[in-house]
Chains A and B, each alone.
Chain A
Amino acid sequence: MTISFRVITVKELPDIAGSEYFAGSEEVPVTSHRALSLAANPCASDEDPAILLAIDEKNRLLGYWGFLSDHLDGNHTNKIMWNSGWRVMPGASHAAMPLLYKALQTCGNKILFSDLTLHTKQILEATGKVTVHTRKGIRWYFRSCSYELVSRRNFATKLLSPFFFFLDFDINLLFVPFLRKTRMPDGFKCIEVPSFNEDDQNFINSIDITSLSGRGIKELNWIKENPWIIPLEKDDPKNRSRYYFSSSEKHFETRFFRIQKEGQTIALAFMNNRNGHVTLPYFICKPGQEKAVAIAIASVTGTLKAKTFTTFNPLFLKSETDLSCISKKSISRFFAYGNKTGITFSEDILIQDGDGDCAFT
């Protein structure tokens, strides 16, 4: 049983993604749009690892691991890697652990994980090479969407999906018209901008908060301009079916907002809307203004026709803003870091919801 490894660097990505080897593969470890995005990462150097392939003696793909280069708190001397995918092919589970160990070794165990499944969390914890933290968040439901959830689970729940379709219809008919609309606080303005500019960078610099990855406008604009999820109609169905992770969606958009009070910028926000499920990958705010700004953000979710709004952002949650909804629930997300990252974890470090690859999804 031979397992060998091949690292694809950031520099090699665009060529590899268009190569004959990829064109002929049953499954590809990266989509072409994700490859171009990774290659344009302002935090990445040419020789950074982008993908680690595990292959057998016949050159068949056994699994792959995705890396996303970043710097801790914007400090360009402290490079780290985010995990952006760990996939093992069906029938190749024996390659999973060697691939994990090789991935940790490839980046000197200076690695971070932003949103682990319970199973992956358990594996990583058991290795003793990684420390896991649980982040608490809230999801507000503005529409019942049980149909969406059950129809993508398994065959049995798929059979029941018509029942959930009518259940959603009834709940939404009964409750949604009575939801209170969150209004923009007096004197506040939420301006949607196509990209962040130098003034926004100056605003970010003026906020005295230690952030984990410390993304500036260069990184934020790169994320918006280089999405990993593209509209379904622009995605080649042949490529889409050969990629395990998300490649396209019926609706996906990234929107930037500058929140001003009496003409002065007091917050910046970046929101993703994936089929009506809205998230807040980036949110920074002048200290003391969290409550009013959170209400301003909440009012934006209404204009985005959100079915749900989810956030783990401590600035937003600190404001204890409650939104008019049909239900809400507390949720957890597992965040982890390799023991060589040099992180001394404390509550004072701001971890953005979109840190790592979460900003792209």
Chain B
Amino acid sequence: MNTEEILPAVISVAEKILKSVPKNVNTETDFKDIPNWTSLNHALIINSIEQHYNIEFDLDEMIEVRNIGDICKLIMKKKA
């Protein structure tokens, strides 16, 4: 499993919560550059990703998450 494989799934989860996600979103995209990426939506997206992959992120890991790529890396780490 690599970032390219995970990215579409992460975007799909985000799209379900945010209703729409800009087409140019990639692993470098900061959350603050995605419209409607509020604190509540952040928590909902992370929760949905945990359910989707049947994983649970630790607080230590969540503190460092700033962009889409960080989420992908965390999923890879958990699934390794």
- Chain A residues at the B interface, C-beta cutoff of 8 Å: 1, 3, 5, 93-94, 96-98, 100-102, 104-105, 109, 119, 122-124, 126-129
Taking a contact as CB atoms under 8 Å apart, the answer to whether A98 and B65 are in contact is: yes
Taking a contact as CB atoms under 8 Å apart, the answer to whether A96 and B39 are in contact is: yes
Residues in chain B near residue A124, CB distance under 8 A = 43
Taking a contact as CB atoms under 8 Å apart, the answer to whether A94 and B30 are in contact is: yes
Q: Is B59 in the interface zone, CB < 8 Å from A? A: yes
Taking a contact as CB atoms under 8 Å apart, the answer to whether B63 and A101 are in contact is: yes
Q: Is B50 in the interface zone, CB < 8 Å from A? A: yes
Taking a contact as CB atoms under 8 Å apart, the answer to whether B62 and A101 are in contact is: yes
By secondary structure, the B interface counts as helix
- Nearest 7 pairs between A and B by C-beta? A126-B43, A94-B32, A105-B59, A101-B62, A96-B39, A101-B63, A126-B44
Taking a contact as CB atoms under 8 Å apart, the answer to whether B43 and A123 are in contact is: yes
Q: Write the B43-57 contact mask toward A (1 if CB under 8 angstroms, else 0).
A: 110110010000000
Q: Which residue of A lies closest to B60 (CB)?
A: A105
Question: What total of chain B residues lie within 8 Å of the partner, measured CB to CB?
Answer: 19
Taking a contact as CB atoms under 8 Å apart, the answer to whether B59 and A97 are in contact is: no
| A3–B70 alpha-carbon span in the complex (Å) | 14
Residues in chain A near residue B60, CB distance under 8 A = 105
Set B32, B50, B62: member contacting A93, Cβ < 8 A: B32
Q: Which residue of B lies closest to A127 (CB)?
A: B43
Residues in chain A near residue B1, CB distance under 8 A = none
Residues in chain B near residue A104, CB distance under 8 A = 59
Q: Which residue of B lies closest to A124 (CB)?
A: B43
Residues in chain A near residue B64, CB distance under 8 A = 98
| A233–B62 alpha-carbon span in the complex (Å) | 44
Taking a contact as CB atoms under 8 Å apart, the answer to whether B59 and A129 are in contact is: yes
Q: Write the B16-39 contact mask toward A (1 if CB under 8 angstroms, else 0).
A: 000000000000001110000011
